[in-house]
Structure formats: structure tokens, C-alpha cells
Chains A and B, each alone.
Chain A
Amino acid sequence: MRQDSYQVRQVSVRRRFQDDALSVLKSLLLVGITTIALLIAEQFFSLRHLILVYLVPVVIAATNLGMVPAVIAVIASGAATVFFFYPPIYSFLIEDPQHVVELLLFGFVAIVTGLLATNLKRQADLARRRETEVRELYTFSRRLLAAHTTSDIYTAIREHLASITGYRTILFEIVARGGGGVTLYTEGPVPEQVKRAAELLVEGHKGSGKGSVVEDGEGRVWLVRAIPGKGGDFGVLAIDLGLQAGKISDTIRKRIESVLADATATLERLDLAHALNDARVRSETEALRDALIGSVSHQLRTPLVSILGAATVISRAPGNSGDPRLASLVNILRNEVDRLNNDVQDLLDAALISSKGIRLECEWVEPSDIVNAAVDRRQRLLSGHHVLLDVSDELPLIYVDPILFEQALGQIVDNAAKYSHPGSAITIAARCDCDSIVLSIKDEGIGLVGEERTRLWERFFRGGRHASNVSGSGLGLWIAKAFVTANGGEIEALSEGADCGTLVSIRLQAKEPATRDLAVVDDG
């Protein structure tokens, strides 16, 4: 071991020396180039105080190579000036005392400038590194906040640690086992040796944060280390240091340790235990909510199925089937069942939006399909109106959740039908506008006045003018807006005033499907 680290030190000293020598050579090269340039320039015109030109290689060396090469560049520059330019030329003697002053002044200015440049460079580097770190930390904390399950959190931590250490990592979740023990859990394959080391670490010293180094069967070296949290260790991290000849160098290990110390301090501050608990509660609440929504929708809808089913059977029964009075009664029933069914759907959608549980299942959709579905589903409601469709057949496909988007459009169409006179026109258009696709629904109804314009999209808001004679829950437009926004769109309503009709526009950014292998479709 001792011999090992001695060798490691030997190697690193030699490498460092090589690096330094290279930097010095580079700075000498810079001075050389400057000298040649000056010699050429002197053929054409005479230069006074040409020594100042040597500030250029000095500053370059200071910013890029470090202070030592910069000082060497200063000395070399002075020497080159004396040798090539100060009379007597091609000797290190100086005749003119003025030149001595100039040389001393140059030395002073060059060293100060070099120092400033090096400092500036170091600070810029530091700032850039800090910025990256802060950005990474910010992304990381956002992921933590959004995490729905504990495994989301562990994945976020693992990826964060991997990005700051720059190595592949495995993070073991410590799961309490019945009977006081713990088991380690992680996704994906883990080398046996690494797993055993992690288990030893957890059983050996809890909360110590100590680590060990193991080698797996394939010669890869792993650093295994506990990650402490507020209430004891919350995980064990294994870092894959790759194929290392012999033991890992102290420097690498120290660097990783210091990075990890920073990271674990951050993790502690972020109060992971709390986040983990939150995630668990959240996923349980979500399951409960899903169950509740499912059962409510079942309970409310089942009677509707029997009512509508039985009524339509009666109207078709032999002896009844030709009777127009029965048909019209069934029609009433049908409309009312539809309305109730839509109200149940609105309640479910509202519950979904309030709990921020909108899950999008986006796909490429033909805009006309959405318009047609929204209109067809409301055929009976729209039967008293002239519905005009104006959809171009050359619109780009849109990338949305088709069901939610159709529901949003449907709500607007519902509203247009409800708040306009039978026999009036409702125009639904889809067109391209620059790089967006705009769906618009125009009615000739009661329009918008006063606070209706601004409060239109609020939950439970109903305009005072017609609330008493038009049924509604005040949820429709709020749902429409939520669904459109969730799909990345914008929605707005315009009206010239009372009884002037309303124009609602839904605007979506046009996107292009990935065109890879488009030849697959281009066959006719």
C-alpha cells in the first residue's frame, strides 16, 4: 500500500512536470512568433516602443497557461527586445539608458497585467462553474419537488450525483425490513462485490458516511459510500471509477469525497426524508382519488345506462315502434340523459384538474378529426342550429391529447349552442395562421358584456343575464381552458357586445412530426 501510493505520487509528479514544461514551451513559442512578426514589420517601417507589442504574448500566456509561463514570457520578451532591436543589435548590451528604463517599465507593467489577467481568468472560470452547479442544483430540486414516487426521487439523486462526479453511479435505497433489519434496493444490474460492500457498509457503521473501495469481477474499481440524511443514512452510493490500474489515486478519491461532501450537505438541507414521505403520501392520495373517481362515475352513470337503455327498448318494441309521440318522448329522455352524463363527465374532469392530475396522452392528430368528433358527439344538442364547418384539408397534424382536446372544443361548442337562438349559425373553422393552428368557434348568440369578458374562464362563473333560464354548472369553459392550456395551447374569447355573438379561438403552435424515415409513408 505504501509502495503503491509512493508510485502514484511518482507518476503524478512526473505528469505535472511534463504539463509545466509544455506550458513554458508554449509561452516561449508565443514570444518567438511575436519576435518574428516584429522583425518582418521592421523591414517596412520603424517602430518606437516596440517592446509594448510583447504585452500581447504575456497576456495570452497569463490567461491561458498560468502565472509561471507568463513570467517566463516576460523575461523572454525582454531578452528578445534587447537582442534583436536595441542597439547594438544581436548582443545583450544596451547603449541607450532610455532603453533600460523602458525595459524596467515593461517588466513591471507586464507582470502586473499578467497577474490581473490570471486572476480574471480564474474568477471567470469559477463563476462559470458555479453557474453550472447552481443550474444543476436547480434542475435537481425541481425534479425532487415534482417527484411522485420514492423511486423518482432516488433516480433524481442518482443522476444528480452522477452528473457532478462525472462517473456512472448506482444508488441503493435503504428499505426498512420487518424485524429491525434493512435491505438494499436498486433498479438494474449490480455487480455482486459492489452489493456486498454496500451491505457491509450499512450493517457496519450507520450514519458514518465512511466508504470503501472494491473491485468487481471485471477489474472495474468502485467507490462505495453511505449518503447520510437527517435521520440516519438514506442510501448507499456506488461510483464506477472505471478500469484503474491498481489502487485509485488519492487525488481522484479526494476530489470525489469533497464533491460528495458538498452534495450530501445539500441533500440534507433539502430534507429528503420529508420529500420521500410527501411522495409516498402523494401516490397514496392519487390511488385513492382514482378509486373514488372511478366509483363515483360508476355509481352515477349506471342508472343512466338503464334509463336510456330501457326507454329506447320501449320505443322500439313491437307495436310502439311507429309511434311519433313515443319517439319524441324518447328524444327528450335521450337529451336529458346526455346532459346528465356530460355533467358527470364535467365533475370528473373538474376533480382531475383541481388535483393537478391531468395526464396527457399526446399523439399526432388530424385537426378535422377533432372538429368532427366534437360536433358528432353533440349532434342532438346542435340539431336546432346551422352548423358550418370550415376546415382546410391541408392543415399540419397537431400533437395533442385527442380526448382532452376534443372535450375542450366540445365545451366551447356546447356553450355556443346553449347561448344562441335556435336556427342561428355556429361556424367552426380550423386554419393556419403563421406558425400556429387556430380553431375558432363563432356563434350569433348573446355575446359577452362587462365582467363576463374577464371572468368567463373562471370556475363556477355564470353570466347573470341568462343563468336562470339556461342550465349549466359554470365548469365548462374552465375545463376547456385547463385542457387547452395543458395541451400547450391558448384560448381567448372576443365579442362585440350584447347579442353580437362570440368568437372563441384556440391557438396551437404548429410542430413538425419527426421526419426520420418519412420515405416509409411516401409511396403514393
Chain B
Amino acid sequence: MGSATILVIDDELHIRQFLRAAFEFEGFTVQEACDAEEGIRSATLKPPDLIILDLGLPDRDGSSIITRLRSWSNTPIIVLTVRSSEREKVRLLELGADDYVVKPFGIGELIARAHATLRPRLATTPANDHVVRVGPLEINLATRSGTIDGERLVLGPKEYLVLEILAQHAGKVVTRQQIMKQVWGGPHLDDTHYLRIIVRKLRKKIEVDPTRPRILLTELGIGYRLVR
């Protein structure tokens, strides 16, 4: 994993410089691109393992780059964004970005996200590959059941589905709409209180203090994240 290549697409020289230094210290190989065109070219010529994309590039807006990259590549993308644009974040995540980091950020945060994104999607155990482990949680995809700290969880079908979706993206944010679409389908996309109620029930079962969750976290205005 240490030899993974990271492509940084950012128009700010200073940001590229410190990102290069940081990732090289971590043992990554870093490629740089200063605009969208160069970024897309670079990603085509020498496909990286992870793309870090700053929004607000001079030549193209973030969503069109993601759409273009996603048309032929599955390389994970982490977006660098600002705090006040939740709707934009949701849109980018839905277009195929894997995660986001809010500027300004400490480098530790970005490196942690990069590691989470680079890990294989499901942390399955070699013996039985239908069991997903996320922290104290263990989810059995075959029997559609779960345990927490070894204790069996009694989950309703919708609760199980939500948990499974989050577990499959463990460590990464999943938007409300992505969950709503998979669990309830089209007509209920706007009825997000359904999801809130399910999450409340789930938290009562898996969290020590459901009002101060440590496992199933809310990303306000965006979605949920299951801590790895």
C-alpha cells in the first residue's frame, strides 16, 4: 500500500507542495496536475490509485471532472471543499466522489481519509468472506444478521439494510439519498425522516450512548458514516 500513487489536482501551487511533501513522507508516490485538463490527461496516461481533487479549478467545475473520470475509471476520488456548500458536496458524492475533506484541514485528517478510501471495500475475513467487520460490529451478509462485541443484534429488515449499506462503505460518508434510494426506492427520496427514525433505532442497539454516537456518525446536511 505504501507504494500507491496519488494524483493531486489543484490550481494552488502551495497546496500541491504541502500535499506532495505529506504523502511522500507517508511513502506514497505523488503526481501533480494544476488544472482539470492536465489532471484528466495524467489520470489517463498513468492511472493513479487515488485522486485528490480541489474544487474551483479555473478551467472546469468539479462535477464535470468527476463525471468525466467516472466514465472510464473507478479510481477513488477525495474532494477538497469548503464548509458552506453542503448541497455541492452531496452532488459530488452522488456523481461518484468517494469522500470529501473540508478546507482548511490538518494533514492528518486527509491522510486518514486517504487510507480509508484505499482500503478494499469490504474488510472480510479470509475464512468466511460473507462477514464484514467494522470496529466492534460484525455483519453477516449471508444470514443478514449482526453482532456487536460478540452479542447478537436483533435488527428489523430496514435497519439491517441501512447498516449493511454503511458497512459496505465503512469509514466513508454515504449520502442520505444513496441510502434512501437503496432502502426505500424512488417515491420516498424526500422523506428523509424515515431514515432518521431507522438510524435512531439502530443507534439504540449499537451505541453505548445513542445521543452521543461513536460508531454511526452523522455528517450534517450530507449523510452518515460508519466509523471503521
Contacts and interface: CB of A to CB of B under 8 A. Distances in A.
Interface of A: 297-298, 301-302, 304-310, 312-313, 316-318, 334, 337, 341, 345, 348, 361, 363-366, 368-373, 389, 391-393, 397, 402-403, 406, 513-514, 517, 520-521, 523-524
A520 B184 CA distance: 8
Nearest to A349: B84
Contact of A310 (B18, B157, B204): B18
A302 B155 CA distance: 46
20 contacts: A301-B82, A301-B103, A304-B103, A307-B104, A308-B105, A309-B14, A309-B19, A309-B104, A316-B25, A361-B86, A366-B200, A366-B218, A372-B211, A373-B220, A391-B212, A393-B210, A521-B197, A523-B159, A524-B155, A524-B157
A301 B104 contact: yes
A513 B83 CA distance: 28
B156 interface: yes
Contacts of B83: 341, 345
A406 to B, nearest CB: 6
Interface in B1-40: 12, 14-15, 17-19, 21-22, 25
B18 to A, nearest CB: 4
Interface of B: 12, 14-15, 17-19, 21-22, 25, 56, 80, 82-84, 86-87, 103-108, 154-159, 184, 188, 191-194, 196-201, 203-204, 210-213, 218, 220-221
A348 B84 CA distance: 9
Contacts of A318: 25
A389 B211 CA distance: 9
A393 B202 CA distance: 12
B224 to A, nearest CB: 10
Given A348-B84, A364-B196, A309 B108 contact: no
Contacts of B220: 365, 369-370, 373, 402-403, 406
A397 B196 contact: yes
B84 A306 contact: no
Given A365-B220, A524-B201, 10 more contacts: A302-B15, A305-B105, A306-B18, A310-B17, A318-B25, A345-B84, A368-B210, A369-B220, A373-B220, A397-B196
The 3 A-B pairs at the shortest CB distance, nearest first, are namely: A524-B156, A364-B193, A306-B14
A297 B84 CA distance: 10
Contacts of B18: 306, 309-310, 313
Contact of A309 (B82, B107, B200): B107
A308 B194 contact: no
Nearest to A405: B220
Given A306-B15, A309-B104, A316-B22, A520 B84 contact: no
Contacts of B197: 397, 521
A82 B212 CA distance: 90
Contacts of A337: 104
Given A301-B103, A403-B86, A310 B156 contact: no
A297 B108 CA distance: 24
A348 B184 CA distance: 37
Given A310-B18, A393-B200, A341 B25 contact: no
A466 B95 CA distance: 49
A310 B18 CA distance: 5
Nearest to A366: B196
A287 B212 CA distance: 40
Given A393-B200, A523-B157, A305 B194 contact: no
Contacts of A364: 192-193, 196
A86 to B, nearest CB: 75
A345 B14 CA distance: 22
A402 B89 CA distance: 15
Nearest to B198: A521
A361 B221 CA distance: 9
B106 A312 contact: yes
Nearest to A338: B104
Contact of A392 (B14, B188, B211, B221): B211
Nearest to B159: A524
B211 A524 contact: no
B106 A305 contact: no
Given A372-B212, A403-B220, A302 B199 contact: no
A304 B104 contact: yes
B221 A309 contact: no
Most buried by A among B56, B157, B221: B221
B204 A393 contact: yes
Contact of B15 (A305, A345, A523): A305
A520 B194 contact: yes
A341 B197 CA distance: 34
Contacts of B105: 305, 308-309
A11 to B, nearest CB: 48
B122 to A, nearest CB: 24
B123 to A, nearest CB: 25
B107 A369 contact: no
A365 B222 CA distance: 11
A305 B212 contact: no
A217 to B, nearest CB: 35
Contacts of A520: 158, 184, 188, 194
Contact of B158 (A302, A341, A406, A524): A524
Contacts of B188: 517, 520
A391 B221 CA distance: 20
A339 to B, nearest CB: 11
A308 B200 CA distance: 36
A368 to B, nearest CB: 4
A307 B107 CA distance: 11
Contacts of B191: 513-514, 517
